Structure 1
Amino acid sequence: MTKTPSADDFDATVPPERPQALDGPPSEDTAKEVAIYFMSLSPYVFATGDFKEWNALSGKSCKYCASTVAQVNDERGAGKQRTGNRLEMRDSQSVEMHQKNNQYIVGITMKEHEGQLLRADGTVEEDTNYVLDVRVELLVTWTGARWSIDGVDIKWSGKA
């Protein structure tokens, strides 16, 4: 599993390292690495508004992917910025759903650490001063040329 940066090493404005799995070939292991990478992009896109990698992986059917872009654009349009919210990947599983279609369901259990939503003047609008346990499931598809995140379902989340 991809190493999660420690709290001291984490900077949400630095993109996570791009895994070789993004280049294929399709397998349960590479699908898992792609899903972990995609979720690891979340703090980065919220902190920077840089959607290059997020959009490259987002499938047309992924409502979570599109709603994340809309939320970030709304916040940044209002001059707001997020900091923190480091994701600590705890466990992951991958199951091939349709061998013919190279589709995989990837489950990830993670912790979302503290973060803040800052107003344009730098004051704190929202302070998440607790850790959340989160379980997500992603539909990950190899298109023959690239990976696509075709759905994300947050199964549960709650304070750790």
Structure 2
Amino acid sequence: MLRRRTAQGAFAIALLTLGPALAACALDDDPAPPTPTADGRETSASTSSVDPVVRPIPDAAMTSPDEAGAAAAAEYFVQLYDYSFASGNLEPWNGLASETCDFCRDIAADVAEIGQSGNRTLNEPTSIVTSRVWMIEPAKWFGADLIVREAPSTQVDATGATVATDDGGEFRLALALSWADGWKVDEVDVLDPDEAPKW
């Protein structure tokens, strides 16, 4: 389901627009396994085990406006992506999504369309292969770069009959997050794993 928009459609690609502060954080094209650095928090091979049908619980780290909190918010975002499609419940998704997040609005519209048709999506949880988070402005702006592996999914109707399938795949998610008495995802860029973000 994680697809960039093409001439034929599919999913929108939202460019991060936080300006020059992000330009210095551009990533190399080589997606080598991340290692800890002084200016950010990095992890690898973090696989989510959250059942997509069960509403995920925010990690306690999300109460902090720091790199650990941003990493937890990015992971929660991935969990809510699965949960929204599996359950049709957009309340937590919309609570995390900023009004500026075009990708978030597109996903909400897709989930609503599937729900209105009476269909639902079945899939295994999306796993986070690597995660890198850094601070742009203390306690306010953060960036996150995730490589995620989306499992194949099946869309079924009310009778359980298959109406659509998706092969899933591996993708890079570039997120802009902000803190203001809680986390918001401001923009999301969906890329190929070996493609550098456009900021």
Shift, 1:47, TM fit = 1.0
Return the structure number with greater strand share.
1
Cα deviation digits, residues 83-126 of structure 1 (max 9, x gap) = 11420111100121233x71111011110012101123321111
Q: TM-score, normalised by structure 1?
A: 0.85
Question: Aligned with 2:192: secondary structure?
Answer: strand
- After superposition, residues 33-112 of structure 1 pair within 5 angstroms as 33-99=72-138, 102-112=140-150
RMSD of aligned alpha carbons = 1.9
Consecutive unaligned residues in structure 2, runs of 5 or more = 1-42, 195-199
In 2, Cα distance between equivalents of 1:54 and 1:115: 19
Runs of 4+ in 1 over 2 A off after TM superposition: none
1:18 and 2:62 are equivalent in the alignment: no
Query: Comparing both chains, which one has the higher relative contact order based on Cα–Cα distances under 8 Å and sequence gaps of 6 or more?
Result: 2
Report percent identity of matched pairs.
Answer: 23
1:31 and 2:70 are equivalent in the alignment: yes
In 1, Cα distance between equivalents of 2:51 and 2:162: 18
Equivalent position of 1:127 in the other structure: 165
Consecutive unaligned residues in structure 1, runs of 5 or more = none
Shift, 1:157, TM fit = 5.9
Amino acid at match of 1:19: D
Shift, 1:3, TM fit = 4.9
Residue 149 of structure 1, aligned match among 180, 185, 190: 185
Question: Aligned with 2:75: secondary structure?
Answer: helix
Question: Aligned with 1:137: secondary structure?
Answer: strand
Cα deviation digits, residues 29-74 of structure 1 (max 9, x gap) = 2101111111111111101111222111110100111111110111
